Amino acid sequence: MANHETVRENAPLRTLTPGERFCGWYLLKSAQTATTSGGKPYLSFRLSDNSGELPAKLWDYAGPITSLDAGQAVWASGRVDSYQNQPQLVADNLRLADGTDEIDLSRLVPTAPRDAQRMLDYVEQTLRSLADADYRGVCLTLLERHREDFARLPGAMLLHHAFLHGLLMHTATMMHQADFFARLYSDIVDRDLLLAAAFLHDIGKLTEFSTSPLGLVSDYSKEGQLLGHLFLGAEEAGQTARELGVPEEKRLLLQHLIVSHHGKAEFGAIEPPKCAEAELLAQIDMIDSRMEMFRTTYLDTPAGEFSRQRVWGLDNQYIYRPAADDPA
Amino acid sequence: MANHETVRENAPLRTLTPGERFCGWYLLKSAQTATTSGGKPYLSFRLSDNSGELPAKLWDYAGPITSLDAGQAVWASGRVDSYQNQPQLVADNLRLADGTDEIDLSRLVPTAPRDAQRMLDYVEQTLRSLADADYRGVCLTLLERHREDFARLPGAMLLHHAFLHGLLMHTATMMHQADFFARLYSDIVDRDLLLAAAFLHDIGKLTEFSTSPLGLVSDYSKEGQLLGHLFLGAEEAGQTARELGVPEEKRLLLQHLIVSHHGKAEFGAIEPPKCAEAELLAQIDMIDSRMEMFRTTYLDTPAGEFSRQRVWGLDNQYIYRPAADDPA
Amino acid sequence: MANHETVRENAPLRTLTPGERFCGWYLLKSAQTATTSGGKPYLSFRLSDNSGELPAKLWDYAGPITSLDAGQAVWASGRVDSYQNQPQLVADNLRLADGTDEIDLSRLVPTAPRDAQRMLDYVEQTLRSLADADYRGVCLTLLERHREDFARLPGAMLLHHAFLHGLLMHTATMMHQADFFARLYSDIVDRDLLLAAAFLHDIGKLTEFSTSPLGLVSDYSKEGQLLGHLFLGAEEAGQTARELGVPEEKRLLLQHLIVSHHGKAEFGAIEPPKCAEAELLAQIDMIDSRMEMFRTTYLDTPAGEFSRQRVWGLDNQYIYRPAADDPA
Amino acid sequence: MANHETVRENAPLRTLTPGERFCGWYLLKSAQTATTSGGKPYLSFRLSDNSGELPAKLWDYAGPITSLDAGQAVWASGRVDSYQNQPQLVADNLRLADGTDEIDLSRLVPTAPRDAQRMLDYVEQTLRSLADADYRGVCLTLLERHREDFARLPGAMLLHHAFLHGLLMHTATMMHQADFFARLYSDIVDRDLLLAAAFLHDIGKLTEFSTSPLGLVSDYSKEGQLLGHLFLGAEEAGQTARELGVPEEKRLLLQHLIVSHHGKAEFGAIEPPKCAEAELLAQIDMIDSRMEMFRTTYLDTPAGEFSRQRVWGLDNQYIYRPAADDPA
Amino acid sequence: MANHETVRENAPLRTLTPGERFCGWYLLKSAQTATTSGGKPYLSFRLSDNSGELPAKLWDYAGPITSLDAGQAVWASGRVDSYQNQPQLVADNLRLADGTDEIDLSRLVPTAPRDAQRMLDYVEQTLRSLADADYRGVCLTLLERHREDFARLPGAMLLHHAFLHGLLMHTATMMHQADFFARLYSDIVDRDLLLAAAFLHDIGKLTEFSTSPLGLVSDYSKEGQLLGHLFLGAEEAGQTARELGVPEEKRLLLQHLIVSHHGKAEFGAIEPPKCAEAELLAQIDMIDSRMEMFRTTYLDTPAGEFSRQRVWGLDNQYIYRPAADDPA
Amino acid sequence: MANHETVRENAPLRTLTPGERFCGWYLLKSAQTATTSGGKPYLSFRLSDNSGELPAKLWDYAGPITSLDAGQAVWASGRVDSYQNQPQLVADNLRLADGTDEIDLSRLVPTAPRDAQRMLDYVEQTLRSLADADYRGVCLTLLERHREDFARLPGAMLLHHAFLHGLLMHTATMMHQADFFARLYSDIVDRDLLLAAAFLHDIGKLTEFSTSPLGLVSDYSKEGQLLGHLFLGAEEAGQTARELGVPEEKRLLLQHLIVSHHGKAEFGAIEPPKCAEAELLAQIDMIDSRMEMFRTTYLDTPAGEFSRQRVWGLDNQYIYRPAADDPA
């Protein structure tokens, strides 16, 4: 067939279909060496880019690439096959990137759908707008200390916002909501406290996560596993507040909002929310996390249909994407 | 003491203190006839107005007022005593209102802290703004059918919004939030669907509640107990949509949002939320209910202190009201 | 071996053993196209009949049959192999039925172990025996409207009564139990209400399920997933009762029994059972569902032994089939 | 008033109304000595008969009756008063029965609504009808050993069948159900096993309960609290089966049905039911317990109304007693 | 009666019986002003000493003592009465202690049954025996900083060790157990880590509790309620470790053991125990807490009997105190 | 490569690496006959010894070894391959041991890390040291009856102590702890009762387990599944106590400690622990089970790292093995 003649270069993985040929730079997600029943070695691996990922095989391959190279960029070429009704790549070539290769990394790893610099500006300007100098001081001190990591880190390992700038996008969206609710319930909510805590609530994730060479979260750190990001964030915010001479009442409130932002002990909260701002913070964290899971589920679900799989993070339900309105 | 000479007329109950004398119109919350160890009959009862309620005694009283008169307006006079460190009224006179009495009912029953007509106008104008004629039609039809009850009914029997116009206030606030979130997540949320369902979500409460003579919810109706307001609301909205010829997809979505707005089966949801609008509706219902419980808890809690009692509706926690900021 | 010479035609799949040859009509349960490590296409599929199902392979096969043909009748021939100690079919021929084939469908799909017409007659006669004209009217109206589907549909997708006429068999058995309990507890149970609701309780499944070409349940419908069969059944029964002028008390009771027949919110009940008939209906639904799961588990379990697998629907336990009594 | 002149003798407590005078024999349910604020001693106690119970006071009383006399029959006279809208007795005389008093005990304690001898005959005849000599032997041996207690004991301390012959009535009704289900599911159920276990299932309660002088359950025994009636019954049935030379398979099945008849570990089952007979036994125990709770709830609930209190044993719900049908 | 003539002075409250007269110093546990139905003021209060507590009344009393004086020592005299089968004090005199009174406070408040100084010596010597200078340094630093409070504070407000030196006794007993288990499981347990954390585990309670004038815990502090003693203890231990230059691995382990010592999230653990020492620490904390509840329950339970009340902290069970062995 | 020339004989499986050749005696853990896509039969099996287990293949193999031979010793030879980054054996020879082979069984099955005879001596001497002749009598009677099985059996099928003498090791360690706690809490704990029950608590496992030819637990027995080891142990201990004329109080206590030693109904306890000894027994059973799981988890976890897998028996957590201290 004619399309066998053409080779698509650097094509998004999601767009490849059985019968096509491909070549280009991708992320080596994982790799396993194996042997066929006939005793021949081969490599079973997965490639990913910012559009998705695909399984792949390289027959008669004895190295040097192994599972230890996971997380690196590779050059691969071959054809697209089909296995169990899903596309599978059969490579004929595979090598690691070296220092001389010029690779557009933004193509390889998933990235937030919004502009990172604009989000960072919004966060900083909003913090500078806080009327309360104590809350403002703690936030700006921590923003200065962690600016680069804060702007780059994903929001989670798997469930939601698992892309570059994910933590920033999640934080900025929550601050937007915090501002709305502080106005809506202005009789019982302190805007400065709620906005400061919205900024700080996941700051402990900067310590909780280990990141891969290309910037994605690859694992939890030892501190993250032994203490958790709620503890880590509240400890650092508390220490900073003490150094800045913040009054005890305000320091305690900031720490309380951080340690309670998972809402219930069963979801990891150290204490349940005990004031209106703490309650709101836990609720808007929940809302933005779940809306992001709806967003990514919809990407794989045609309008008017249910998701093909149950979605673990959404109470393990099949999710329905409503049919788009007909124009008229 | 001098203040024994004065009689405070129609004083808010919350303001009465031991040693004062009182007279005026109040709501008879409950009443029980009893007999002292000496064999003399008396009446043990509770009076309420829109500021709170107090226990009361009328010694040597054999009627005609009994427990059957609960929910009516009464004229009472007497002195304020103290029992277990709390004020208690000792009446010397008590009679039911008759047709000739002119009573300001708004003083007797708790009423929403915002203007009912303005809230109703907001709801109606927002519904008229819906771009989708189907959703708009269902909502306006039901608003016309139930306008008076909808505007007057409390939002619940006990937990939150348990005052006149409470359902309207709760609905209007949720529509305000719905509008905000429809913009924030416009890529995955249909504004018309979310706003329509925010209006409709508690419409079944009009059938679920029985109301007392003065308009407060006194009990659940038989239909309310046997079927629940989620079922009742979705049944009526579905029937109306069929009569108006609304396409099946839209009717199902409206019904789904109504039956899922309690979020989880354990909280009474018939199905869990399965699309982004359903998820948001359940979340903002939760937020507004809990914020209202914080608001009323704060009314009885000095700034910088914890609530005297655990608050059942807020996960049975002691609630903290943050200290107000010092001026400067 | 001699048995290689013989070809068993239309043999029940459960009776095939490794080494035999087979041919005949079967149901194509599922199919997946795939490629061997050597690059050759093949079809991995499952055949079923009313005795069970088996995995199968067709090597060197590139179509035209694909996963889209699942649910259709096919002609297949080949030999019986063994894989992981279980029989596996290796086909040499496979084609779809066309209009000219004469196929005994009753052999292909699992069917209730009792006569459908006799069960339907029992249901109808019992409904005609109801003394209460209101309950009788609602039931007979719905029986007329749905007679064909009601008599044919399985009782569930997977767990129990997942065969043709399964819903009918489940309903008839429950009505038999309802009759017994109405006599046993005649002082507190209204026979007509209990029998009517036993007939109606799963009527919403007619809307909840999507069925495959040959009549089995292949999926849940959109309405089923968004509203659930308890809601759908109670909505339709309520609408019918209103049209027939049934008094409100009776309509509410019918609807209450339908919406509560799963017993507890965690099992999907919209309200818990609140009268004796509702309680009984939920209990006998549970009993018949579980007895049917014991029946099918016993089919695969030798007497005196435990089931090979945990049975998910029976609290995920290993089930014991007691040893048969010795004759004497 | 005229009715003050009349004294009602041995009137059922449920029928007494404020203003009447009473005298007669009742059961002293409980008693507490106390002192008024004026320093005078009095007795606060409760009287009961088979119609219900009432609170009572005896002013200026210093003994000899104290809390230690609870559970005995007493002669009391006085007038009926009202306290918190409920009748309360004010006695002027109270003494313990002595050997010379002739008292109709059946009036004092609640008794099963069905004839004890007929129920006992049914149980015995049914056991004699068992085809399996092993199961029959175990049952008849235990019936002989415990006949008197078995026929007299209540079925529970509080929740259901808490009256004389309650255990017998509960057992007989369950055997009736067992017989029905053994026929209905004859393909998977062994009638003899199910009936034998229905008879034996609560036999451990004979050891678990302590009884009061007049035959009601007053407490759990030490054995009952340390081991529970499931263990005790299965231990005794197992020991008896061993002595009679019952084959191990049958002994194990009998014991399994006894230890699993509470269905789930959270309800006290030692193992969950693992064969069809065990499942059925647990289900019909549940049904009869709950139907009895409906029966007693209905006694205090007018037709067409909800129970005044939540019913703890029925999932803590308000229970609805359906409106009786209109005659015509 | 003769015993009316005698007045028992400073008698333990547990030993007073109705009919006796009393006088002496006691702790005012709580107080409420009230008015009789005749309009006369009185004081309803509770007195306690280290043997228990009793309700009391002082008729015709208008002050100056009120609820605000709770927690102070008072002189009281009067007679012992009986109310609801329990002793009740009727006072004729009541006054607050002033500076000139010489009161043996150890009689007034419950105190640990073991010698405080010996326990403190054991703790300090054991800490000095730690081989690891880092762990030893953190512990001795915190012991120095908090020695007085640590030695004096109760272990809890209500459930267990709610007496002076309770925290010390609980800590010392746990260190004794830690030493035993470190030897028993020496292949997987670091003795120094386990002993250090046993000392530190409740150090956050020094901040979590508010104490009454006489040293008992009267309430949770604001920090205690907003952050909890696990967070507070781990924050302070972590800060101290950083100041002493303890290696990060050891600091993290100490903090992990503190934040996980409640075992599960549902019991308040911030993270579950993830190493053997953390697991052991959580287990021995549980053991010592529960053994102490058994000890105090046994104080009120005769041998061979069950506790009169369910014990909330012991899974809400009735507790059995085994019969003492017969001597021989 | 040179190491292809060498054949390692009876090498511990855990030490084999891809590329080596092996031969020796191993345990056949499981086996499955299968057919390749080319139609050739082969055997897929697992070998184990006391160091671990490995998957294996024997190509072109049609018998006689099948799944029925699982649990027997086999002679195998071949080479070590790699599959999915894990070692996999490819055998060229496989035969069952016969009577003439001399095999060191201790190499084939996992065995307790401590000397069995010394542990057995400790248990027996401790039991002989009991002051109470009744408890001592029951224990020694049961030790005599089951000595061989008791000393040999594993402690569980999978989770912990799943090696020869595992039950003995678990029991001896618990008796050691019991002795410690009986001294620590001597005011409320009866040493003889606690030690006797520590010995008896798992005695029912001798009946609950089925064992394989080489002594490991291969399955649960019918009695084990239908009644559970708590019931079986308490039944046998009770029967023995009755035969020895042990007073009822002591028999009940022994039985109570056995039936409650899983702590909570959800963990299988028949009754919750109701006296101090029962509480301690449940706690130390938990401690020793979990410490053993930590021990085996650490075997596969490098110091300073987390376990590669979640550990199911330890609340499904990743477990951390602390970094060893630096020498210095």
What tokens were used for B4? Answer: 């024994």
Q: How is residue A304 annotated by DSSP?
A: T
User: Which chain B residues have a beta carbon less than 8 Å from that of A188?
Assistant: 291, 294-295, 298
Asked whether the beta carbons of residue B82 and residue E35 sit closer than 8 angstroms, the reply is: yes
Asked whether the beta carbons of residue C256 and residue B226 sit closer than 8 angstroms, the reply is: yes
B254-268, D27-41, D310-324, E271-285: the lowest-pLDDT one? D27-41
* Mean local confidence (pLDDT), F127-141: 97
Please tell me which chains touch A, using 3 or more CB pairs under 8 Å as the contact test.
B, C, E, F
Instruction: Please indicate whether chains B and F are in contact, defined as at least 3 beta carbon pairs under 8 Å.
Output: no
Contact D215, D152 (CB under 8 A): yes
The pLDDT confidence band at residue B160, using thresholds 50, 70 and 90, is: low
D130-144, E166-180, F41-55: the lowest-pLDDT one? F41-55
Minimal CA–CA distance to A140: which of A127, A125, A123, A122? A127
Tell me the C-alpha distance between D186 and D178, whole Å.
11
Tell me the C-alpha distance between B280 and B186, whole Å.
12
User: Which chain B residues have a beta carbon less than 8 Å from that of C239?
Assistant: 239
User: Which chain F residues have a beta carbon less than 8 Å from that of E184?
Assistant: 173, 176-177
Give the residue ranges of chain C where pLDDT is below 70. 1-5, 36-39, 84-85, 157-160, 211-218, 324-328
Residue of F nearest to D274 (CA): F226
The chain-wide mean pLDDT, for chain D, equals 88
Contact E38, E24 (CB under 8 A): no
C238-252, F53-67, F255-269: the lowest-pLDDT one? F53-67
Query: Does A275 reach chain B within 8 Å, measured CB to CB?
Result: yes
Query: How confident is the model at residue D131, as a pLDDT?
Result: 96
Instruction: Please indicate whether chains C and E are in contact, defined as at least 3 beta carbon pairs under 8 Å.
Output: no
Residue of B nearest to C262 (CA): B270
pLDDT, greater one: D65 or A67 = D65
Query: Does E75 reach chain F within 8 Å, measured CB to CB?
Result: no
Minimal CA–CA distance to B196: which of B246, B146, B123? B123
**Residue-by-residue DSSP string for F221-284:** -HHHHHHHHHHHHHHHHHHHHHHTT--HHHHHHHHHHHHTTT-SGGGT-SS---SHHHHHHHHH
Tell me the pTM.
0.88
D52-59 and F320-321: which strand pairing?
unpaired
Minimal CA–CA distance to F315: which of F293, F284, F288? F293
User: Which chain A residues have a beta carbon less than 8 Å from that of C44?
Assistant: 84
A107-111, D199-203, F54-58: the lowest-pLDDT one? A107-111
The pLDDT confidence band at residue D105, using thresholds 50, 70 and 90, is: confident
Asked whether the beta carbons of residue F275 and residue E315 sit closer than 8 angstroms, the reply is: no
User: What does R_g of chain B's alpha carbons equal in angstroms?
Assistant: 23
Residue of F nearest to D257 (CA): F226
Interface of B with E in 21-60 (CB under 8 A): 36, 57, 59
Q: For chain F, how many residues are written? A: 328
Of A59, A88, A320, the CB nearest to C225: A320
Q: What is the pLDDT along chain E (328 residues), one digit of tens a residue?
A: 344 458 899 999 989 988 889 999 998 888 888 776 666 788 889 998 888 889 999 988 887 888 878 878 899 999 998 776 678 999 999 998 887 778 877 788 888 888 999 999 999 999 999 999 999 999 999 999 999 989 988 877 655 677 888 999 999 999 999 999 999 999 999 999 999 999 999 999 988 777 666 666 667 789 999 999 999 999 999 999 999 999 999 999 999 999 999 999 989 999 999 999 999 999 999 999 999 999 999 988 999 999 988 999 999 999 999 986 543 3
Q: What is the 3-state secondary structure (H, E, C) of A28-40?
A: EEEEEEEECCCCC
Query: How confident is the model at residue C39, as a pLDDT?
Result: 65
Q: A124 — phi, psi (to 5°)?
A: -65, -45
Tell me the C-alpha distance between D119 and D126, whole Å.
11
A227 to chain B nearest CA, in Å?
25
Query: How confident is the model at residue F327, as a pLDDT?
Result: 37
Query: How confident is the model at residue D2, as a pLDDT?
Result: 40
Contact E244, E224 (CB under 8 A): no
Name F8's bridge partners.
F22
* Most confident range, picked from A34-38, B66-70, F226-230: F226-230
End-to-end CA distance of chain C: give it in Å, rounded: 41
Percent of chain E with pLDDT over 90: 59
Query: Does A267 reach chain B within 8 Å, measured CB to CB?
Result: no
Q: What contacts C226, CB < 8 A, 6 or more positions away?
A: A320, B252, B253, B255, B256, B271, B274
Name F42's bridge partners.
F34, F59
A160-169, B172-181, F180-189: the lowest-pLDDT one? A160-169
Please tell me which chains touch C, using 3 or more CB pairs under 8 Å as the contact test.
A, B, D, F
C305-306 and C320-321: which strand pairing?
antiparallel
User: Which chain F residues have a beta carbon less than 8 Å from that of E174?
Assistant: none
Tell me the C-alpha distance between E199 and F179, whole Å.
24
F7-9 and F21-35: which strand pairing?
parallel
Asked whether the beta carbons of residue E274 and residue F319 sit closer than 8 angstroms, the reply is: yes
Torsion, Cα D222 D224 D228 D231, to 10 degrees, reads: 90
User: What does R_g of chain F's alpha carbons equal in angstroms?
Assistant: 23
Residue B216 confidence (pLDDT) above 50: yes
Helices (H), chain F: 105-108, 116-128, 133-152, 166-184, 191-200, 205-208, 222-243, 248-259, 276-299
User: Which chain A residues have a beta carbon less than 8 Å from that of B185?
Assistant: 291, 295
User: Which chain C residues have a beta carbon less than 8 Å from that of A319?
Assistant: none
Asked whether the beta carbons of residue D226 and residue F253 sit closer than 8 angstroms, the reply is: yes
Asked whether the beta carbons of residue E294 and residue F275 sit closer than 8 angstroms, the reply is: yes
B40 to chain D nearest CA, in Å?
10
Minimal CA–CA distance to F88: which of F37, F46, F32, F36? F46
CA F75 to chain centre: 25
Asked whether the beta carbons of residue D34 and residue E90 sit closer than 8 angstroms, the reply is: no
Tell me the C-alpha distance between E320 and E313, whole Å.
15
Tell me the C-alpha distance between E61 and E44, whole Å.
10
Q: Where are the beta strands (DSSP E) in chain D?
A: 7-9, 21-35, 41-49, 52-59, 73-83, 86-96, 209-211, 217-220, 305-306, 320-321
Query: Does C250 reach chain B within 8 Å, measured CB to CB?
Result: no
Tell me the C-alpha distance between B80 and E39, whole Å.
11
Query: What is the longest distance spanned by two Cα atoms in chain C?
Result: 75
Asked whether the beta carbons of residue B283 and residue A283 sit closer than 8 angstroms, the reply is: yes
Query: Does F265 reach chain C within 8 Å, measured CB to CB?
Result: no
Of B222, B228, B271, the CB nearest to C227: B271
pLDDT, greater one: D209 or B158 = D209
Contact E43, E78 (CB under 8 A): no
CA F59 to chain centre: 33
| Interface test mutation site (partner C, options B270, B275, B279, B281, max chain C beta carbons within 10 A) | B270
| Interface test mutation site (partner F, options C36, C58, C84, max chain F beta carbons within 10 A) | C84
Query: Does C320 reach chain F within 8 Å, measured CB to CB?
Result: yes
* Mean local confidence (pLDDT), D311-326: 86
Minimal CA–CA distance to F278: which of B88, C314, C297, E314? E314
B120 to chain A nearest CA, in Å?
18
Interval F77-94: pLDDT, tens = 999 987 766 789 999 999
D250 to chain F nearest CA, in Å?
11
Q: How is residue A279 annotated by DSSP?
A: H
Minimal CA–CA distance to D26: which of D77, D98, D92? D77
Q: How is residue E190 annotated by DSSP?
A: -
Query: How confident is the model at residue B157, as a pLDDT?
Result: 62
The pLDDT confidence band at residue F58, using thresholds 50, 70 and 90, is: very high
User: Which chain A residues have a beta carbon less than 8 Å from that of E225?
Assistant: 271, 274
Q: For chain A, how many residues are written? A: 328
What tokens were used for B46? Answer: 């509770």
What tokens were used for E327? Answer: 């001597």
Asked whether the beta carbons of residue C84 and residue F34 sit closer than 8 angstroms, the reply is: yes
Asked whether the beta carbons of residue A294 and residue B321 sit closer than 8 angstroms, the reply is: no
Contact F255, D227 (CB under 8 A): yes
Counting Cα atoms < 13 Å in the Cβ hemisphere of C301 gives 26
Helix %, strand %, coil % of chain C (to 5): 45, 20, 35
Sign of the torsion formed by the C-alpha atoms of C180, C181, C184 and C190: negative
Question: Along chain A (328 residues), what's the average pLDDT of each consecutive run of 10 residues?
Answer: 67 89 90 73 87 89 83 89 81 86 79 90 97 97 94 73 87 97 96 98 86 66 93 97 96 98 93 97 97 92 91 92 65
Asked whether the beta carbons of residue E222 and residue B320 sit closer than 8 angstroms, the reply is: yes
User: What does R_g of chain E's alpha carbons equal in angstroms?
Assistant: 23
Query: How confident is the model at residue A60, as a pLDDT?
Result: 87
| Interface test mutation site (partner C, options D274, D319, D320, max chain C beta carbons within 10 A) | D274
**Residue-by-residue DSSP string for B100-135:** T----HHHHS-B-SS-HHHHHHHHHHHHHT-S-HHH
Percent of chain D with pLDDT over 90: 59
Q: How many CB atoms lie within 10 A of CB F144?
A: 9
Query: Does D195 reach chain F within 8 Å, measured CB to CB?
Result: no
Q: Where are the beta strands (DSSP E) in D207-258?
A: 209-211, 217-220
Coil, helix or strand at residue F109: coil
Of C188, C287, C325, the CB nearest to D295: C188
Of E32, E39, E222, the CB nearest to B84: E32
Cβ pairs B/D, distance under 8 A: 26
| Interface test mutation site (partner F, options C17, C61, C306, max chain F beta carbons within 10 A) | C306
The pLDDT confidence band at residue B84, using thresholds 50, 70 and 90, is: low
Interval D260-304: pLDDT, tens = 999 999 899 999 999 999 999 999 999 999 999 999 999 889 999
The pLDDT confidence band at residue F326, using thresholds 50, 70 and 90, is: very low
Query: Does C265 reach chain B within 8 Å, measured CB to CB?
Result: yes
Q: What contacts F289, CB < 8 A, 6 or more positions away?
A: F159, F160, F161, F170, F313
User: Which chain E residues have a beta carbon less than 8 Å from that of D32?
Assistant: 84-85
Query: How confident is the model at residue A3, as a pLDDT?
Result: 45
**Residue-by-residue DSSP string for D32-52:** EEEE-TTS-EEEEEEEEETTE
**Residue-by-residue DSSP string for C244-312:** TT--HHHHHHHHHHHHTTT-SGGGT-SS---SHHHHHHHHHHHHHHHHHHHHHHHHTS-TTEE-SS-BT
Query: How confident is the model at residue C218, as a pLDDT?
Result: 64
| Interface test mutation site (partner B, options A136, A286, A287, A307, max chain B beta carbons within 10 A) | A287
Cα-based angle D181, D187, D189 (whole degrees, multiple of 5): 50
Minimal CA–CA distance to B284: which of B263, B270, B313, B256? B263
Q: How many angstroms separate the Cα of B112 from the Cα of each of A138, B269, C88, F145?
A: 39, 27, 71, 79
Place of tokens 């507004």: B288
Cβ pairs B/E, distance under 8 A: 25
Q: How is residue A313 annotated by DSSP?
A: T
